[in-house]
Amino acid sequence: MIENRPLLTFVSHLLLVLGVAIVAFPVYVTFIASTHTAEEVLAAPMSMLPGGHMVENYIAVLTHGAGEATAAVGRMMVNSLVSALVIAVGKIAISLLSAFAIVYFRFPLRTLAFWMIFVTLMLPVEVRILPTYKVVSDLGMLDTYAGLTVPLIASATATFLFRQFFLTIPEELAEAARIDGAGPMRFFWDVVVPLSRPNIAALFVILFIYGWNQYLWPLLVTTREEMYTTVIGIKRMIAGGGDAATDWNLVMATAMLAMLPPVAVVILTQKWFVKGLVDSEK
Amino acid sequence: MAMEKRVRFRSWWLPYALIAPQMAVTLVFFFWPAGQALYQSLFIENAFGGDLQFVGLDNFRELFNDVHYLASFKVTALFSAAVAGLGLAISLLLAVFADRAVRGAAVYKTLLIWPYAVAPAIAAVLWMFLLNPTLGIVSWWLTRAGIEWNYVLNGGQAMLLIITAAVWKQVSYNFLFFLAGLQSIPKSLLEAAAIDGAGPARRFATIVFPLLSPTTFFLLVVNVTYAFIETFAIVDAATSGGPGQATEILVYKLYKDGFKGLDLGGSAAQSVVMIVILVTLTVVQFRYIERKVQY
């Protein structure tokens, strides 16, 4: 505190509380809607206090989904979890390996490889939808976990982050390993990976959220309901434009379930998360 | 920091094996499709499908003579400016006050960062529900306040809906970076200014904001990229580009024309235009990162 200005301090707290309230409001309303019956949600204005149907709504979506056209949300959450884990672990694994190759070896095509990885930053799936879909479909990967995950596990960001970090590992360690007769992979497993643990943890949080929240890609490659991820499931539930026929209480229960895992991960691992976010953008 | 290692391992095959998985994914799912898009942008498909006919730059010429495409550019510009402008302004305001609230800063941080973890599509659904013309609670308030609210019919209101959802989701990200930037400003500078009689507003304008400019610029690029690409999910879930073409941003039009309309050459040309825009944004961002050391 530079100087004491009680009025300004009061105003800043007031504004922050207001900001927190506005940020939280949509989620509060979502939660409230998920505890009412469909009819109660349709009564404008809907009650702003929790209703008594929370447990049955959540059980209903987890086991049966909402509307006629959707699979059980429980199944979708399993799909989301599998995709998010495979994407996070896959991105970290292949990025660790390629960064290790780029930093600790000198080989022809090294610079080319580096630039090729860099260029992927400018080619998100959104700008190459049709041809990428065709590749995945030709490979028979539609409606498979491989199709949901493998095309997304190249990662320029993670590779650069690990490369930056490897460059700070003291030269003496590699030298000592070499003198002791340890090969490169021994050095990788016994020195590089353990030293990278904080970075791996931080990246894992970011990438898990990235994987869980994927939208366009699962929308393209899943046609069978049992392969939908939770985020896609919600989109299908309100496909009619979200009119009165939509069971909003069930849609909102699904929205709560779709938000819960990534939000919990961010709040529980806040330190890693903030580090991962700030580091990976440097 | 050294850019190269002195000590290296030697093997003629191991580095290739290590880099192979990344290269395989990159080549098959990034370079091959992007190359296809580049190639197809120079062709049109015959009316009966199948055969490709080389047309040079005709697809691009057609694109830039298409009123719908130009309208989509305008929509994208408006949307991106609003998302980046509002997103940065709101999060800067919150970060400045959170930085002031010395003891509360950590608590406010926890309470403000979680929307980062909410999928853009879910953010869209939450706001759709609040602003639903028949049952939304916020629409009900607006109607009571005498505002006729129906984003399904009113293009401007549909735009407001997607801007709100996009900004709501992005504020937490910007907030974290602004707060980190503010906390790295040396307190001695601000104390010196305070002793010289500069009030909080003056200190913000002459010291804090200029010192924050690298963060602000970085976030500006990130937010514009976000508005260009990642908000696809928000548009698709909330408005599907409508009503009419009111919320049809470029990336949504690309999806609609390509995946739904199956216009091969035209959507490939749109892909190429988008890639050019992204390359520009990325180059700007990386040039800035190199210069950041000045501060």
CATH label of the domain that carries residue B237: 1.10.3720.10
How high does pLDDT run on average in chain A?
88
Residue B93 inside a domain? The answer is yes
Residue A9: the pLDDT is: 84
Residue B75 inside a domain? The answer is yes
Question: CATH number, domain at A194?
Answer: 1.10.3720.10
Which residues of chain A from 38 to 67 reach within 8 Å of chain B, CB to CB? 41-42, 44-46, 48
- The answer on pLDDT for B293 being more than 60 is no
- 3-class DSSP state of A48: coil
- The answer on pLDDT for A211 being more than 90 is yes
Residue A252 inside a domain? The answer is yes
A185 to chain B, minimum CA–CA distance in Å?
9
Confidence band (pLDDT; 50, 70, 90) for A281?
low
Which residues of chain B from 83 to 142 reach within 8 Å of chain A, CB to CB? 90, 93-94, 97-98, 100-102, 104, 108-123, 125-130, 132, 134-135, 137, 140
Q: For chain B, say whether A252 makes contact (Cβ under 8 Å).
A: yes
Tens digit of each residue's pLDDT (9 = 90 or more) over B161-184: 999 999 999 999 999 999 989 988
- The answer on pLDDT for A138 being more than 60 is yes
For residue A173, what are the domain limits? 34-280
- The answer on pLDDT for B159 being more than 50 is yes
- CB nearest to B8's CB, from A105, A167, A277: A105
Provide the Cα torsion B173, B179, B181, B183; round to 10°: -160
Q: For chain A, say whether B166 makes contact (Cβ under 8 Å).
A: no
Residue B94 inside a domain? The answer is yes
Residue A19 inside a domain? The answer is no
Tens digit of each residue's pLDDT (9 = 90 or more) over B245-280: 899 999 999 999 888 877 788 888 999 999 999 999
Confidence band (pLDDT; 50, 70, 90) for A246?
confident
Residue B233: the pLDDT is: 94
- The answer on pLDDT for A20 being more than 90 is yes
Distance of CA B62 to the CA centre of its chain: 27
Nearest residue of A to residue B181 by CA position?
Answer: A278
Assigned token pair, B92 = 């800067």
Assigned token pair, B34 = 């992007």
- 3-class DSSP state of A141: coil
Residue B38 inside a domain? The answer is no
Residue A193 inside a domain? The answer is yes
A213 to chain B, minimum CA–CA distance in Å?
5
A219:B135 CB<8 A:
no
Residue B119 inside a domain? The answer is yes
Residue A21 inside a domain? The answer is no
For residue B108, what are the domain limits? 66-294
B111:A23 CB<8 A:
yes
CB-side exposure of B167: number of CA atoms within 13 Å?
Answer: 22
- CB nearest to A20's CB, from B16, B100, B108: B108
- Across A203-233, b (16+ Cβ under 10 Å) vs e yields bbbbbbbbbbbbbbbbbbbbeebebbbbbbb
Structural domain count, chain B: 1
- CB nearest to A105's CB, from B3, B14, B28: B14
- Quote ipTM for the complex: 0.91
A122:B97 CB<8 A:
no
Residue B287: the pLDDT is: 77
Residue A11 inside a domain? The answer is no
Residue in A52, A25, A50, A248 with CA at minimum distance from that of residue B135 = A248
H/E segment holding residue A73: helix A73-104
Mean pLDDT of A106-119: 90
Cα separation, B133 vs A8, in Å, equals 39
B29:A151 CB<8 A:
yes
Q: Are B113 and B169 in contact (CB under 8 A)?
A: no
- The answer on pLDDT for A159 being more than 70 is yes
Residue B85 inside a domain? The answer is yes
Cα separation, A122 vs B3, in Å, equals 24
Quick one: three-class SS letters along chain B?
A: CCCCCCCCCCCCCHHHHHHHHHHHHHHHHHHHHHHHHHHHCCEEECCCCCCEEECCCHHHHHHHHCHHHHHHHHHHHHHHHHHHHHHHHHHHHHHHHHHHCCCCHHHHHHHHHHHHHCCHHHHHHHHHHHCCCCCCHHHHHHHHCCCCCCCCCCHHHHHHHHHHHHHHHHHHHHHHHHHHHHHCCCHHHHHHHHHCCCCHHHHHHHHHHHHHHHHHHHHHHHHHHHHHHHCHHHHHHHCCCCCCCCCCCHHHHHHHHHHHCCCHHHHHHHHHHHHHHHHHHHHHHHHHHHHHHHC
Instruction: Work out the number of other CB atoms within 10 angstroms of the CB of residue A67.
Output: 16
Residue B279 inside a domain? The answer is yes
Structural domain count, chain A: 1
Residue B107 inside a domain? The answer is yes
Q: For chain A, say whether B171 makes contact (Cβ under 8 Å).
A: yes
Mean pLDDT of A33-56: 84
Residue A250 inside a domain? The answer is yes
